[in-house]
Amino acid sequence: MATNVVEIDARGLKCPLPVLKLERQLAHAHPGAVVVVVTTDPMAKIDIPLHCRQNGHAYIQDDADGIVRFTVTKAGSD
């Protein structure tokens, strides 16, 4: 089964907007859905992993040239 990936471009947005946009997207997503957040806010390196740990979501963080990319998989099962 193919997974649709939703990307949130949060470059230029400051805390707490990147994590709030992620929360809003995950609230409407099915378990196992993948959401990618691209941000330039250094606080997102704290906020998004914390949100994921608190809610049981898996995530991968990639940093390159001042841009942070989080690939988040929503917790739960179908």
User: What six digits make up the tokens of 54?
Assistant: 């608190």
State the maximum Cα–Cα separation within the chain, in Å, rounded to a whole number.
37
State pLDDT tens for residues 1-33: 456 899 999 999 999 999 999 999 999 999 999
Catalytic site includes residue 15: yes
Query: What kind of architecture, by CATH, is found in domain 5-73?
Result: 2-Layer Sandwich (3.30)
Degrees to nearest 5, angle at CA 15 with 68 and 76: 70
Domain boundaries, the chain: 5-73
Q: What pLDDT is attached to residue 41?
A: 97
Q: Report which of residues 40 and 1 the model is more confident about.
A: 40
From 15, 29, 36, 38, the catalytic residue? 15
Render pLDDT for 44-60 as a digit per residue (tens, 0 to 9): 999 999 999 999 999 99
